[in-house]
Structure 1
Amino acid sequence: MTTTAQDFILVDRQPPIATITINRPRQRNAINYDMWSKLADLVEDLDRAREVRVVIFTGAGETAFSAGADIADFDRYRADSAKGKVYNDAVDRLLDTLATMDTPTISMIRGFAAGGGCELAVATDLRIAAEGSRLGIPAARLGISIGHREMRGLVSLVGKGNALYILLSGRLLETEEALRIGLVNQVTAPEDLETVTYQLATEIAGLAPLSHAANKRTLNQVQAKPALDNLTVEEANVPLAQFDTRDYQEGYRAFLEKRAPNFIGE
């Protein structure tokens, strides 16, 4: 029986939260070439779904979030620079989608998050890890390097020095060190990982989705144009546009009336 990328990726929609599970536990949830494109398709679809307000990524089983790119792909897709470009384009599409999507994303990490698995986690907005997990990008052990998008995301998250420490050492960091350098946002006991992650997702989903989207866009603009002196009119107006939304009026009234707001994304 032939298996496809769809067999290796599970999607559970429980609005307002959707969960994407990398489902190859026997391969430590390694991601093959077709899966990168499938993940990008799924993320784009979920970002268009108004009822989905948070997307959680995780890996099946207890061993790994994802051990990274599937080594079985290397002969076919990464044997030389020409083949490598085709492979990297598929990875870049997912990373670009994660970077620009309006919907908040969380990586729920249990076990190994290595190589491409770590890069996927870095590309999401937040990372919650169970104690005992290990994270890193040991590309130098294979004689390869990471792409520009992966490098940009890693440096933005942990800074130049820590990014080089991760890459030059090739180490997989324990959760305590990963938390210290900012590679993860929170570390929990393994038995509490799902509770903590879904509680955070529920809190995020209950807040204004347009505010989340505007904050993510503004963050991207600040990183792309740190001097802020060459913003377009449209970019400069992103924070101000929130005052013209129904959600702002609802949030303001709810605050005055001392009740929970009901945001609708308009």
Structure 2
Amino acid sequence: MLTEHGDGVARIVLHNPAKRNAMTEAMWRELPGLLAGLADDTSVRVLVVTGAENTFCAGADIATLRESAESSQALAVAAEEALSAFPKPTLAAVRGHCVGGGAQLAAACDLRFAAHGALFGVTPAKLGIVYPASSTQRLVRLVGPATAKYLLFSGELIDTDRALRTGLVDEVHPPEELEARVREFTRTLVERSQLTQAAAKEFAGPEPDASRMEHWRREAAESGEAAEGAAAFLERRAPRFRWTPAPADRSHGAPG
């Protein structure tokens, strides 16, 4: 795993280029700790997850599955859940193959931008593996039951046109333009209200209980964010949103 950080945007790079960035057990173990540190870093406003060189992630390292499929799957699910619960906006920037464990990680992000030519697949049927229930349900929420079954039953790869049409990705760009678009969009996210983003991320998950809805009502009332947004609009200037999540809020990231 490589990390980069600047201008409010952190970047985690899946780095195992000799195996098309396949996830080893060490990489699965490392990810939750990296995410916890970035969640607590108040200078981080947005997280981008991508792969080294020209591919996102070809899945789990098959050697680890041969040794202990159950252990490897448990590590993958823990990493996926940690990414899903990350309390700030997350975006997967996908080139090349996004398969198996790579697709799990991309699906756990809030948004997915892809380069033309990327390929997506969920491939446990090729290996005789029972895909985790939580991962299956996340995939169904993202693409619907029919597409989820197509991917899970067949293990076939789909191209960016189909991924965009089914909702697996949000935007598709020529490979040479993807990085610029990701930079442009994450700059936009950095400028927006973290209060709005944090509440929206939680509300987009399982229905919050009354205490969490009251929490966000209180945060909105006390933050001054809406007053600043209105003043900036009337004064024709960029808003200066100052709300940042307290550590207690960071433990309530909603699953994607």
Task: Give 3-state SS (helix, strand or coil) of 1:30's partner.
Answer: coil
CA drift at 1:40: 1.1
User: Structure 2 residue aligned with 1:110, among 79, 95, 117?
Assistant: 95
Residue 200 in 1 paired to residue 177 in 2? no
Residue 235 in 1 paired to residue 212 in 2? yes
Normalising by structure 2, we get a TM-score of 0.90
Task: Give 3-state SS (helix, strand or coil) of 1:101's partner.
Answer: coil
The runs of 5 or more residues in structure 1 that have no matched partner are 1-8, 79-83, 223-230
CA drift at 1:237: 1.9
Matches of 1:118 and 1:93, distance apart in 2:
15
Which consecutive aligned stretches of 4+ in structure 1 deviate over 6 angstroms post-superposition? none
User: Structure 1 residue aligned with 2:156, among 171, 175, 188?
Assistant: 171
Residue by residue over 1:147-177, the C-alpha shift from the partner in whole angstroms, topping out at 9 and shown as x without a partner, is 0121111011001111001111211101001
Q: How does 1:113-192 map to 2 (within 5 A)?
A: 113-192=98-177
Aligned letter for 1:197? V
Q: Does the 8 Å contact 1:208/1:247 carry over to 2?
A: yes
CA drift at 1:239: 4.5
Task: Give 3-state SS (helix, strand or coil) of 1:77's partner.
Answer: helix
Matches of 1:114 and 1:24, distance apart in 2:
14
Matches of 2:188 and 2:83, distance apart in 1:
20
Matches of 2:125 and 2:83, distance apart in 1:
25
Aligned to 1:23: 15
Q: Does the 8 Å contact 1:218/1:239 carry over to 2?
A: no
Aligned to 1:88: 73
Aligned letter for 1:257? E
Matches of 2:200 and 2:94, distance apart in 1:
24
Q: Greater shift after overlay, 87-96 or 189-198?
A: 87-96
Normalising by structure 1, we get a TM-score of 0.87
% identity of equivalent residues: 35
Of structures 1 and 2, the one scoring higher in RCO (CA 8 A, sep 6+) is: 2
CA drift at 1:100: 2.1
CA drift at 1:178: 0.5
Aligned to 1:74: 65
Aligned letter for 1:155? V
Matches of 1:96 and 1:109, distance apart in 2:
19
Residue 37 in 1 paired to residue 15 in 2? no
Matches of 1:37 and 1:248, distance apart in 2:
40
Residue by residue over 1:99-148, the C-alpha shift from the partner in whole angstroms, topping out at 9 and shown as x without a partner, is 22211100000000000101110000000000001001121011112101
Aligned letter for 1:19? R
The runs of 5 or more residues in structure 2 that have no matched partner are 245-256
For the aligned residue pairs, the C-alpha RMSD in angstroms reads: 1.4
User: Structure 1 residue aligned with 2:46, among 54, 72, 75?
Assistant: 54
Q: Does the 8 Å contact 1:218/1:238 carry over to 2?
A: no
Matches of 1:145 and 1:233, distance apart in 2:
35
User: Structure 1 residue aligned with 2:232, among 244, 254, 263?
Assistant: 254
Matches of 2:184 and 2:85, distance apart in 1:
24
Q: How many residues align?
A: 243
